[in-house]
Amino acid sequence: MKPHRKSKLQIHLLFWILYYILEAYLDFYWSRYQFPDFSWQVRLQNTLILELGYFLVKIPLAYALLYVYERSRIKNLFKYFLYVIIVVAAVFGHRFFTHYIIYPYIYGVTETLDGKQPSGYINGLVAFNSFMDLIFMVGLVFGVEITRQKNLLKAQISQLKSEKLDQELTMLKAQINPHFLFNTLNNIYGMALKKADETPDIILQLSKVMRYNIYEAAEKKISLSKDIENIKDFIQIQKIRHCHLTVTCTEEIDNPSQEISPLILIQFVENAFKHGVSESLGDAFIHIRIELKNGILTYCIENSKETKADKHSTRIGLKNIRRQLELLYTGHTLTVEDHSDRYTVKLTIDFHDKHNL
């Protein structure tokens, strides 16, 4: 059975149990005035039996009306006609059960109006009473079912939004600079030709970075310590190409197990290498500071600026990062300062914000 159908069955079953208790209580209370000579035990027994009998009319009525209501292919005019037919049939059924079964067989008396005048099977007053009893029940059933459907629709919409966000985040993560792998492999190839001693270490670091990007990054959250370790491996690999580059990375973390979405922080480092120092001939630098205190992350990157930087390409990278942050962390601030000789980026994330994904 599908989960939403199981939920529907449970909700409707609970409704009928509560409705039965309510109707039994009201009829039992009413019976002490209608049948004062009966003991409370007899009145209670009769009440429980007659309410079960009424269910033979009420339950088919409720679900017949719901069935017609939910059939979108039935034209409105025909729907109203069916509603009338179903309700009229239910009123006749309700009256038949009341007049011919409840009074003569359960209570052993003849049905009367106001305890005096005998009541017929169908007349205006008793038919109206039956109609109101049935309509009250139908209103409750429709209220429960419409509320259930609205809640189910909200849950489905929420799930679709979540799936859409996950797909968008996956797509954004996949946009990380693919040239990194090719450039690194080319550099490793050059080192291998020279038989450089650092070659095995660089291959190991590249393996760690790729493993992180393929496996760890597939998770929604990862510990901050693992994310920082990946950044450090990335920096070590990049230093092969930028031997003139000065890189500092300081960290002050009070909770290394704090979870964060993978590949968010490293994109700022990639931008610093790609758009800030890749063609610098002078004393290029990148300074990174990561601080986590009381659930608030402060992440600062400052890097030297190229004389012929590709500003359009930089904007594309920042647009990607901003979109990911908007989806993941409502409680964040991101500032980018473009100075004459350097770029400064500062990101603050409040992990306590309840609106974060």
Which residues, other chains included, contact 187 with Cβ-Cβ below 8 Å and sequence gap of 6+?
Answer: 202, 240, 241
- Helices 124-173 and 3-34, axial angle in degrees (round to 10): 160
Quick one: pLDDT at residue 47? 87
Q: Are 131 and 95 a contacting pair, CB within 8 Å?
A: no
Quick one: pLDDT at residue 169? 60
CA angle 220, 229, 214 (to 5 degrees): 45
Token match 């609205």: residue? 150
Dist. CA 216–CA 222, nearest whole Å: 7
Quick one: pLDDT at residue 249? 92
Q: Would you state the structure tokens that stand for residue 136, as one six-digit string?
A: 């009250």
Dist. CA 169–CA 196, nearest whole Å: 39
Q: Would you state the structure tokens that stand for residue 253, as one six-digit string?
A: 């973390």
Low-confidence spans in the chain with pLDDT less than 70:
1-4, 112-122, 160-180, 275-282, 307-317, 355, 357
User: If DSSP codes are grouped into helix, strand and coil, which group holds residue 286?
Assistant: strand
Quick one: pLDDT at residue 291? 95
Beta strands in 160-245 (DSSP E): 222-223
Quick one: pLDDT at residue 121? 64
Dist. CA 192–CA 341, nearest whole Å: 36
| Topology of domain 175-350, CATH | Heat Shock Protein 90 (3.30.565)
Count CB-CB contacts under 10 A for residue 28. 16
Dist. CA 54–CA 49, nearest whole Å: 9
Residues written for the chain: 357
Quick one: pLDDT at residue 276? 65
Q: What is the 3-state secondary structure (H, E, C) of 151-175?
A: HHHHHHHHHHHHHHHHHHHHHHHCC
Beta strands in 96-239 (DSSP E): 112-113, 117-118, 222-223
State pLDDT tens for residues 39-98.
888 888 888 988 888 898 999 999 999 988 888 777 888 888 899 999 999 998 888 888
Give exposure, 325-347, as e/b (b: 16+ Cβ within 10 Å). bebbbeebebebeeeeeebebbb
Quick one: pLDDT at residue 168? 60
Q: Which helix (H) or strand (E) holds 225?
A: helix 224-241
Quick one: pLDDT at residue 197? 80
Provide the whole-model pTM.
0.55
Quick one: pLDDT at residue 13? 92
Among left, alpha and beta (phi > 0; psi -120 to 50; other), residue 209 is alpha
What is the residue type of 324? Q
Q: Are 324 and 167 a contacting pair, CB within 8 Å?
A: no
Q: Domain-by-domain residue ranges, the chain?
A: 3-166, 175-350
Quick one: pLDDT at residue 144? 92
Q: Are 336 and 305 a contacting pair, CB within 8 Å?
A: no
- Please state the separation of Cα 238 from the chain's center in Å: 40
